[in-house]
Amino acid sequence: MRKNVIIVIVVLAVATAVVIGLQYSRHVCTVGATRSTLSAIAVASQQFKANSNAWPRSLTELTHDPQYIIFKTLPPADVWGNPILYVPYNTNAGCGVAISWGADGKPGGTKQNRDRVVPFK
């Protein structure tokens, strides 16, 4: 009987470790995909500036400007389905910013709800 209890405990511990590992892997992939999208927006903004000698004023301008199309399509939201915030280049700030507010879609937070911010200049 005691041997069976130990086996059950070991099986539960292994199962818990697997579930935690899978959740962590999914979190890492989700954060990585969001960061890649924000970085792509930052690079596209820099390319837009190099081509047109002006910073794009919005995400829409990156996809719809007839002379300097950088992206054919742009994800309308981050991987959590929340809109990406685009703060155009500001001379006083010295940069522009692409932001994801994280899984909860609100400023601040920790872990999956943490803000992801990619500046460009």
Helix/strand/coil percent split, the chain, to 5: 50, 15, 35
What residues contact residue 37 under an 8 Å CB cut-off, 6+ apart?
75, 78, 79, 84, 100
pLDDT at 76: 73
Q: Is the pTM of this model over 0.85?
A: no
Query: In percent, how much of the chain has pLDDT > 70?
Result: 69
User: What DSSP character marks residue 76?
Assistant: S
Question: What domains, with CATH codes, occur in the chain?
Answer: 2-120 (3.30.700.10)
Tell me: the pLDDT tens digits for 19-60?
444 344 454 566 778 888 899 899 889 988 888 888 999 988
Higher-confidence residue of 23 and 17: namely 23
